[in-house]
Amino acid sequence: MTVGLDRAAAPRRTLRHRLADRGIDRTLWLVLPATAFVLVLFVYPFIYGLELSFQPLEGGGAFANYKEFFSDPYLRDTIWKTMRLALPAAVFNVAASVPVAYAMRGRVRGKRTITTLLVIPITLGTVLTAQGLIMYAGPRGWLNRTLTGLHLIDQPVVLVHNYTGVFLSLVITGFPFAFLLTLSYLSGIDPALEKAAATLGAGSWQRFRKITLPLLAPGLAITFTLAFVLAFSVFPSAQMVGKPTGATRVISIAAYDAAFQKFDYSMGSTIAMIMAVIMLIVIALVMVWRATLYRGATGGKG
């Protein structure tokens, strides 16, 4: 740690005093292993990837990979295809989690059981979800058999190996996370606030709209960010229940193809960097929006 010389300081102030002034002491060594670890295994690979992305295999200048990515529609469109999946999925998961969590706040009978049931889908994993979707929602699955049996449809509905399949898979795996986060933010809001609003004559919808939702909004921003990260890195499900060569050729498939099918690490890194930038832009936008919201105490326990 470098410590700037403080000229105004009295001569009696030794280095020890100046370090103390900045809050530096021996305890800080404890943070060193973790810092070193993240620097070596996260920051360095990231910079390495960035460097690699500017060294295209086939030459053509530092930006050749980026130019190629944005000029080749097959590659460029993966951004759009990913966004088309990840944004609605994240929005849906967050939006759906709000009423469910809202109905669960306070003392609800069987709260723990219901929570557990709603969280269980986390354990399903992408493969079981994908297999299940193919089996259950496929043309000969129980769902289509039931629907045709009830004469609700004549033709089996196509729910897998297309956009819908991946979307459903993202909802099944992503909803429990969004729900858990929303529930914990919601339980951090003091229930007395809503009661206070009720004594002032606010109806239940008004209480939700004017009291709970504004207090919940910053938490929802974070929930959305995390839900979006999950959906944005969609990869296995896009392969298994989607159409990996067409409508659901998402950006991570492109990155993987480049790096490990064509062994063009440079292009693979380029796509990884583009993903990171998009992700960071989305996070930044959400955080900017969040900064405009009320962020103080929610009066609750947490």
Partner 1 sequence: MSTMTRPVTEPEARTSPDATPRTRPRGWTVLLWLVVAFLFVNLAALVLSVVVDSFGTRWFGTWLPESFTTHWYADAWHEFALSHVLLVTLEVALAVVVVSVLIGVPASYVLARRSFPGKRVLMLLFVLPILVPPITYGIPLATLLYRWHLAGSMTGVILANLVPAVPFVILTMTPFIEQIDPKIEAAARMCGAPTRVVFTRILTPLLVPGILAACILVLVRTVGMFELTFLTAGPSSTTLVVSLYNAVFAAGIRANQSVDAMATIYTASMMVLLIVALRFVNPTQLVTRVREEPTE
Partner 2 sequence: MTAGVSSGTSPAGPSTSRFAELRLEGVGRRYGAQTALEDFSLSIKGSEFVALLGPSGCGKSTALNCLAGLLPLTTGSIHLDDRRIDTLPPERRGFGMVFQNYALFPHMTVRKNIAFGLQMQKVARAEVARRVDEAVALVQLGEHQHKMPGQLSGGQQQRVAIARAIALHPPVVLMDEPLSNLDAKLRLEMRMEIRRLHQDLGLTTVYVTHDQEEALSMADRLVVLREGVIQQVGTPQEVYEQPVNSYVAGFMGYRNLIDVDVTGGDAEHAVVEGGGLRLTGANRGVRSGAAVAAIRPEDLVIGETDGNGIEVTVRIAEYHGRELSVEATTEQGRSIYFRTPERVAPGDRVVLGVPRHRVLVFGDASAAREAVRAGLES
Question: Which of 11, 91 has the CB closer to partner 1?
Answer: 91
- Residue 6 binding partner 2, by CB under 8 A: no
Radius of gyration of the chain (CA): 25
Instruction: Please list every residue from 194 through 253 that binds partner 2, using CB under 8 A.
Output: none
Question: How many residues contact partner 2, by CB under 8 A?
Answer: 10
Among 3, 17, 103, 261, binds partner 2 (CB under 8 A): 17
What one-character DSSP code corresponds to residue 3? -
Which of 285, 289, 251 is closest to 270 using CA atoms? 251
Question: Which of 52, 79 has the CB closer to partner 1?
Answer: 52
Site string for partner 2, 24-63 (x = CB under 8 A): -x--------------------------------------
Residue 148 Ramachandran class (φ > 0 left, ψ -120 to 50 alpha, else beta): alpha
Instruction: Please list every residue from 14 through 43 that binds partner 1, using CB under 8 A.
Output: 22-28, 30-31, 33-35, 37-39, 41-43
Question: Which of 85, 255 has the CB closer to partner 1?
Answer: 255
Calculate the alpha carbon distances from 185 to 146, 170, 209, 215 in Å. 39, 22, 16, 9
Assess contact for 160 and 134: CB atoms under 8 A.
yes
Cα–Cα distance for residue pair 251/105, rounded to 1 Å? 38
| DSSP, residue by residue, 80-125 | HHHHHHHHHHHHHHHHHHHHHHHHHSSS-TTHHHHHHHHHGGGGGH
Give the one entry of partner 2, partner 1, none that residue 49 binds, where binding means its C-beta sits below a cut-off of 5 to 8 angstroms depending on kind. Answer: partner 1
Instruction: Mark the segment that binds partner 2 (CB under 8 A) among 15-23, 36-44, 143-151, 225-233.
Output: 15-23
What one-character DSSP code corresponds to residue 189? B
- Residue 5 binding partner 1, by CB under 8 A: no
Instruction: Mark the segment that binds partner 2 (CB under 8 A) among 18-26, 50-58, 95-103, 154-162.
Output: 18-26
Instruction: Please report, as ranges, the residues that interact with partner 2 according to CB under 8 A.
Output: 10, 12-13, 16-21, 25
